Amino acid sequence: MRKAFIYIFSILVALEFSAFFMPKILKDEIVFLDDKALNRSTLKKFEKIYDFNLGWRESRTREDVNWLSEVYFFGDSFTYGDEVEYNESFPYFYEKLSSVKTSNLGVRGYGLDQSLLRYKNNLSRLQGKKVVITIITNSLGRSLSVYRKFVQPKTKFVLTKPRFLKEYNDDSYTIFQNPIKDVGKIKNVTKSKYVMGLVKYDYWGTLYPPVKKEFPFSRYYINETLVKLVKQRLLSGYSGELRDMAQVYSKEEAVELLEFLLKEFKKTASVNNNELVFVYIPKKNELSLKDEKYLPLSVFKNICRREKMKCVDFFKGSSEVKLDKNDYAKNGHLNKNGNKKVAQYLLEYI
């Protein structure tokens, strides 16, 4: 009897010990909610960049926005010029090469939906101007999300954003407003109950529901999602960093949203008399993917053709400009040379 007890106890301890490390193994795939850890987080820096209408803004701009410019660039960190100085970003190079005044409105971490909302928020200032919308594969995946950590679990970025949601039995979309209603409510993201309440509005949160980090940790073994992800890691070396942003282009919900966003840009540009250009830039790990054989690019270009929109991409076989791995910085953004290549090619289209 005693031996049996020791045997069972040893098994339980082993399970508990192994489960304790599961959050470290799956830190790229699952948000593990820890109220104690969250409460220690410093939220002041997020208060400085909080924006109800857009989710967040840059704490510092690449330069003060000149609303007298002729060309305005919208997008995420690729547009902003992450990992390079302002005078090494492609909007800056475009200005120098074209001698046309430009403004860089890129914000790191933005989805295509946030770029659309920022564009719409400044229509009176942009009337009759040229507008360039930069897209990367991640742009659509981000647009399906409400809470940043559901998109990128290991990030320390904890802000929420608005999202376009499709009405049931209807083709129209409505805005689900930013869950954080004012800057004083940012502290809500330190509460696991509040974060759990965001799951139903978030594509990624629904696909990979967050798990509360608490004792007994062995209960993780009855969570089907966790067990499946552990098996993928052990058997195939699967890595879910930043999720698989390409797979969403096979989902009807995502493709419909992409089409809606692109059409909304087109409609708004027509009313506001803007010349509109979309620019799709590949990530470093997409350089070997050729032209329209890559699903995200194929979906994007099909919509562009159908809607007769001006779209440019830098994938292999699509452009005369050959981006290679030497055109990217350490963390995956374009470096000075890559940005210069993009700017030079855009001269033909803008």
Return the domain boundaries, the chain: 22-350
* Separation CA 259–CA 130 (nearest Å): 21
Strand, helix or coil at 153? coil
* Separation CA 127–CA 7 (nearest Å): 75
DSSP 262-315: HHHHHHHHHHTT-EEEEEE---GGGTTSBGGGSHHHHHHHHHHHHHT--EEE-S
* Range in 102-111, 212-221, 265-274 the model is least confident about: 212-221
Please check whether residue 280 is in contact with residue 315, taking contact to mean a CB–CB distance below 8 angstroms: yes
Please check whether residue 78 is in contact with residue 280, taking contact to mean a CB–CB distance below 8 angstroms: no
Provide the token pair at 202: 């978030």
The closest alpha carbon to 186, from 52, 76, 30, belongs to 52
Q: Is the pLDDT of residue 10 over 80?
A: no
Query: Which architecture does CATH list for 22-350?
Result: 3-Layer(aba) Sandwich (3.40)
Q: Of the spans 73-77, 284-288, 317-321, which averages the highest pLDDT?
A: 73-77
Q: Is the pLDDT of residue 123 over 50?
A: yes
Q: What is the pLDDT of residues 125-156, one digit of tens each?
A: 999 999 999 999 999 999 999 999 999 988 88
Report the sign of the C-alpha dihedral through residues 131, 134, 135, 138, in that order. negative
Q: Which helix (H) or strand (E) holds 140?
A: helix 138-143
Provide the token pair at 47: 């208060």
* Range in 17-26, 32-41, 161-170, 294-303 the model is least confident about: 32-41
Q: Is the pLDDT of residue 6 over 90?
A: no
* Separation CA 168–CA 185 (nearest Å): 30
Q: Of the spans 145-154, 204-213, 264-273, which averages the highest pLDDT?
A: 264-273
* Separation CA 277–CA 312 (nearest Å): 7
pLDDT at 31: 82
Question: Looking at residue 175, what DSSP letter applies?
Answer: E
Please check whether residue 92 is in contact with residue 344, taking contact to mean a CB–CB distance below 8 angstroms: no
* Separation CA 139–CA 200 (nearest Å): 20
* Separation CA 63–CA 102 (nearest Å): 11
Q: What is the pLDDT of residues 159-175, one digit of tens each?
A: 999 999 998 777 899 99
pLDDT at 242: 46
pLDDT at 28: 72
Q: Is the pLDDT of residue 234 over 70?
A: no
pLDDT at 33: 82
pLDDT at 63: 56
10 Å CB burial of residue 326 (0-12, 13-18, 19+) is: exposed
Q: How many CA atoms lie within 13 A of 241 on its CB side?
A: 4
pLDDT band at residue 345 using 50, 70 and 90 as cut-offs: very high
* Separation CA 137–CA 321 (nearest Å): 19
pLDDT at 114: 98
Q: What number of residues does the chain have?
A: 350
DSSP 9-36: HHHHHHHHHHHHTHHHHTTTT--EE-HH
The closest alpha carbon to 255, from 125, 112, 156, belongs to 112
The closest alpha carbon to 318, from 302, 297, 334, 341, belongs to 297
Q: What is the pLDDT of residues 38-62, one digit of tens each?
A: 555 568 888 889 999 999 998 766 5
Average pLDDT over residues 5-31: 73
The closest alpha carbon to 185, from 204, 198, 167, belongs to 198
Average pLDDT over residues 89-109: 96
Query: How far is Cα of residue 197 from the mean position of the Cα atoms in its chain?
Result: 21
Q: Is the pLDDT of residue 193 over 70?
A: yes
pLDDT at 340: 97
pLDDT at 238: 52
